[in-house]
Amino acid sequence: MEVEKTARSVEEAVEQALAELGAKREEVEVEVLEEPSKVLFGLLGRRPARVRVRVKDTPVRRAKELLGKVIDAMGLMVDMKFRETEEGLFVDIAGPNVGILIGRRGETLNALQYIVSLYVNKNRVQKCKVYLDVEGYRRRREETLRRLALRLAEKAKRKGRNIVLEPMSSHERKIIHTALQGRDDIYTYSEGEEPYRKIIISPRK
Amino acid sequence: MVKEVVEILAKALVDHPDKVSVNVVEKEKSCLVELKVAPEDMGKIIGKQGRVAKAIRAVAKAAGTRQKKKVTVEIG
């Protein structure tokens, strides 16, 4: 996406271009094609400024574009916040009826996250991880998993036998492994093939 | 709504968006979505062990819940 604009000053031309593209200043690259100048000391009028403004193909832009279209097509009105960190791109979605974007056990959220990440990283050398969250669902789920891990660890210890958890995504398994690592009474490992891979909590003899 | 969603997702994933076609057969309580892409894009739309296809189905299903419709997506 790029446009060329002509105006009295460079700034004015850039502003017109931004309005047309619906982009912010930090989302674009500006190329000044012609500086404004006076022709023959201003006697023959002024030559206007001409700029070419191109929307940068950043992960944020691509994620915003795809998510915007999909959520719009679902008939939802949402507010999206984008945060880029060294770990990746974090997107927080909030609004009425966004529960359908989460789905059972976050199934829809994970599916959407996977597709957005494929789209963001299409033709990209340096991969950017994408994390989607809806109304703090992941944060709450993380807390639930941590508590579940501690409770089941106690159970494994008390009963002196293995406790097998239900299948989980790699991200969720990591939360559980991390919550229970470094303990001397139990240890954890995973078994089975994706997407049915599950954690086993085992007491140490 | 469901049609649009499947079309947007498919077009975002393939190399030839112009060759994506989506046809919907609406029934009272369900809707069948037939998605077709260029032969060379089939791998992209299905993914390793059908992971991409599964993700498209999950989002399409969610799009159908507001209309209380069961959604089936057929690819190919």
Q: What is the chain B residue with the closest CA to A109?
A: B59
Nearest to B62 among A66, A101, A114 (CB): A101
Whether A42 has a pLDDT exceeding 80, the answer reads no
8 Å CB contact between A56 and A14: no
CA dist., res. A103 & res. B71, Å (int): 14
Beta-carbon contacts of A26 under 8 Å, excluding residues fewer than 6 positions away, are: none
Angle between helices A59-73 and B2-13 (to 10 degrees): 160
Helix, strand, coil content of chain B in percent (nearest 5): 55, 25, 20
8 Å CB contact between A134 and A93: yes
**Chain A nearest C-alpha distance from B13 (Å):** 6
More confident residue, A10 or A1: A10
Span A189-200, mean pLDDT? 92
pLDDT per position as a tens digit, A23-36? 888 889 999 999 88
A72 pLDDT tier (thresholds 50, 70, 90): very high
Q: Can you give the pLDDT at residue A66?
A: 96
Helix (H) or strand (E) holding A170: helix A170-180
Nearest to A73 among B5, B54, B56 (CB): B5
Chain A contact set for B56 (CB, 8 A): 111, 115
Q: Can you give the pLDDT at residue A194?
A: 81
Q: Can you give the pLDDT at residue A105?
A: 84
Asked if A115 lies within 8 A of B13 by C-beta distance, the reply is: yes
Nearest to A108 among B13, B51, B58 (CB): B58
Q: Please name each of the domains of chain A with its CATH number.
A: 2-55 (3.30.30), 59-135 (3.30.300.20), 142-203 (3.30.1370.50)
More confident residue, A170 or A176: A176
For chain B, what are the domain ranges?
Answer: 2-75
E-assigned strands of A27-85?
Answer: 28-34, 37-38, 46-47, 49-55, 79-84
Q: Can you give the pLDDT at residue A166?
A: 93
How many Cβ contacts (< 8 angstroms) between chains A and B?
A: 61
Whether A158 has a pLDDT exceeding 90, the answer reads yes
Q: What percent of chain A has pLDDT over 70?
A: 98
Q: Can you give the pLDDT at residue A125?
A: 85
Q: Can you give the pLDDT at residue A163?
A: 97
Q: What percent of chain A has pLDDT over 90?
A: 73
CATH class assigned to B2-75: alpha beta
Whether A157 has a pLDDT exceeding 90, the answer reads yes
A64 pLDDT tier (thresholds 50, 70, 90): very high
Beta-carbon contacts of A134 under 8 Å, excluding residues fewer than 6 positions away, are: A92, A93, A94, A98, A99, A101, A102, A109
8 Å CB contact between A102 and A108: yes
Asked if B5 lies within 8 A of A118 by C-beta distance, the reply is: no
Q: Can you give the pLDDT at residue A147?
A: 97
Span A81-96, mean pLDDT? 94
Angle between helices A107-120 and B51-65 (to 10 degrees): 120
Which residues of B lie closer than 8 Å to A, measured between beta carbons?
Answer: 1, 4-5, 8-9, 12-13, 49, 51-52, 54-59, 61-63, 65-66
Q: Can you give the pLDDT at residue A50?
A: 94
Chain B contact set for A67 (CB, 8 A): none
Whether A16 has a pLDDT exceeding 90, the answer reads yes
Burial of A93 (0-12, 13-18, 19+ CB in 10 A): buried
CA dist., res. B69 & res. B50, Å (int): 23
A2 pLDDT tier (thresholds 50, 70, 90): confident
Q: Can you give the pLDDT at residue A170?
A: 87
Whether A22 has a pLDDT exceeding 80, the answer reads yes
Q: Can you give the pLDDT at residue A19?
A: 93
Report in angstroms the alpha-carbon separations of B48 from A15, A44, A96, A126, B44: 45, 66, 34, 21, 9
**Chain A nearest C-alpha distance from B62 (Å):** 6
Whether A118 has a pLDDT exceeding 90, the answer reads yes
Asked if B59 lies within 8 A of A108 by C-beta distance, the reply is: yes
Q: Tell which of B8, B44, B45 to mutate to test the A interface (max A CBs under 10 Å).
A: B8
Report in angstroms the alpha-carbon separations of A186 from A101, A106, A159, A166: 36, 28, 12, 18
Q: Tell which of A66, A71, A74 to mutate to test the B interface (max B CBs under 10 Å).
A: A74
Tens of pLDDT along chain B (76 residues)?
899 999 999 999 999 999 999 999 988 889 999 999 999 999 999 999 899 999 999 999 999 988 888 999 999 8
Chain B contact set for A115 (CB, 8 A): 9, 12-13, 52, 55-56, 59
Q: What is the chain A residue with the closest CA to B61?
A: A108
- The rounded mean pLDDT for chain A is 92
Q: Starting from the edge strand earliest in sequence, which strands make up the sheet with B30-36, in order?
A: B21-26, B30-36, B70-75
